[in-house]
Amino acid sequence: MGMVSKIEIKQGDITQERVDAIVNAANPTLLGGGGVDGAIHRAAGPELLAACKKLNGCPTGEAKITLGYQLPAKYVIHTPGPVWHGGQRQEAHLLQNSYANSLTLAAEKHCQTIAFPSISTGVYGYPLAQAAPIALKTTSHFLATASSIKNVRFICFDVKTLAAYQQAAQQLGIS
């Protein structure tokens, strides 16, 4: 595909990633929560919550940006992914939007490196086998046109998530 941009998949802790932006799988209030959202808020410090309070929430599939504060990342991009209701409520479209809108925001801020968690596959219940291909496909399409972004990392929280992303990448021919 002639892509200079690289997609990486690895297991780890997204709060430790030294990148221009990390993506937070937020909830629509943007006021913190469990899972990756809670972990990012804890690692970033109270300034992150204060900044998020000024954003007045965020609709599902949209994205908003703050500084990273005490994180190694310069920015945090907050996107609420869809809650899984069986697939009949635009979930795939909304999940695609979460990735695309986060990438667009990162590119607007001239970010070169960005790290994503697996959006919506935790407490929101999105099946991994369906979420991983959407994440990878949306990202690789975006990277084919985006100028600034050079590297996108998918930081998988556990072995099960890692395996799903690796398998999806293989099936899509993304290395």
On whether residue 150 sits in a domain, the answer given is yes
Assigned domain for 128 exists: yes
Q: For residue 1, is pLDDT > 60? A: no
**Is it the case that residue 147 has pLDDT exceeding 90?**
no
Tally of structural domains, the chain: 1
Q: Is residue 36, in this structure, part of any structural domain at all? A: yes
Mean pLDDT (the chain, rounded) = 94
1 falls within a domain: no
Residue 9 pLDDT greater than 70, yes or no: yes
Q: Report pLDDT digits (tens) over 51-100.
A: 999 999 999 999 999 999 999 999 999 999 999 999 999 999 999 999 99
Residue 111 lies in a domain: yes
Q: pLDDT value at position 5?
A: 57
The token duo for 39 is 């972990």
Residue 97's domain comprises: 6-172
Which residues form the catalytic set? 37
Ordered DSSP codes for 55-70: TT---TT--EEEE-TT
The pLDDT tens digits of the residues spanning 86-115 come to: 999 999 999 999 999 999 999 999 999 999
**Separation of alpha carbons 169 and 175, rounded Å:** 6
pTM: 0.95
CATH of the domain at 75: 3.40.220.10
Which of these ranges, 1-15, 43-57, 98-112, has the smallest mean pLDDT?
1-15
Structural domain includes residue 168: yes
Residue 142 placed within a domain: yes
Query: How far is Cα 44 from Cα 37, in angstroms, rounded to an integer?
Result: 11
Cβ-contact 97, 81 below 8 angstroms:
no
CB-based contact 110:117 (threshold 8 Å): no
Query: pLDDT > 70: what percent of the chain?
Result: 96
pLDDT of residue 174: 84
